Amino acid sequence: MAIKSTLTKTLDDLAIATDLLLSAKNGVRTYAVALTETATPEVRKVLKKQLDKAIELHEKIAQYMIDNEMYHAYDIEEQVNHDLKKADKALDLAKG
């Protein structure tokens, strides 16, 4: 039972980190679009500052995932293999 609990925690951590990374990426994209649509220098300055913070957050989350072997950003083959292993583990959990 401890193995299943550890596996569930690992998959939960991965799901949370992945969701957070995708949300951060969406935030970067949203700020960038807003920045291109603004007409006033004051708003542009605020959006640039927020965009920089969003980029920093994305970088921190991605680095956390890389450090914890959740994300293999520099090796697509390794990432695909990692994803397949996690999918197999998730299917095993579903079987009970």
Q: What pLDDT tens digit does each residue of the chain (96 aa) get?
A: 455 565 566 668 888 999 999 999 999 999 999 999 999 999 999 999 999 999 999 999 999 999 998 888 888 898 888 878 878 877 777 776
pTM: 0.74
Whether 65 and 10 have beta carbons less than 8 Å apart is answered as: no
Determine which helix (DSSP H) or strand (DSSP E) holds 43, and give its type and residue range.
helix 41-67
- Between CA 18 and CA 20 the distance in angstroms is 5
Residue 47: DSSP 8-state: H
> What pLDDT score does 1 carry?
46
- Between CA 34 and CA 25 the distance in angstroms is 14
- Between CA 64 and CA 3 the distance in angstroms is 24
> What pLDDT score does 62 carry?
95
